[in-house]
Amino acid sequence: GEATLLRKEMPLPFLFAALSLALNSTVNDRVRVLYESMDTAEDTSEGEETTTVVSGEQVTAMIAHLQNTCQLVPAAQVVETNSKVPYQTFRVGTGSELTKRAREGYGGKKGNA
């Protein structure tokens, strides 16, 4: 029940996603904070700038966290199913499906991985 849920360890990015709902800030500021929470800056030599690295798995997980906290508009989460007869059907996509679609673009053009 609820007591078991409270005892489970929550992933830090999920907590950041949930916390972002409480922030009185712009969408751009919240996205920046979420991005920075995923940032695993690589150490570089002294005098060089750090390289920002966010893996595809981190992005997929953050999208799932945003879905779980109801922060994505419904239209952005809809994916087609393979059922097209007698009409096309749709369902809510997973974090990995939404990431893949964003990288490919809605028109099927491949983006940067």
User: 32-57: per-residue pLDDT in tens?
Assistant: 888 888 876 555 556 566 667 788 88
Asked if the model's pLDDT at residue 110 lies above 60, the reply is no
Alpha carbons 95 and 14: distance in angstroms, whole number: 13
Asked if the model's pLDDT at residue 108 lies above 60, the reply is no
Output the pLDDT for position 46.
Answer: 60
Asked if the model's pLDDT at residue 65 lies above 50, the reply is yes
Output the pLDDT for position 93.
Answer: 94
Please check whether residue 36 is in contact with residue 50, taking contact to mean a CB–CB distance below 8 angstroms: no
Alpha carbons 11 and 71: distance in angstroms, whole number: 17
> What is the rounded average pLDDT of the residues 60-79?
89
pTM: 0.67
Which ranges constitute the DSSP H helices of 1-111?
2-7, 12-20, 27-38, 56-68, 74-77, 95-104
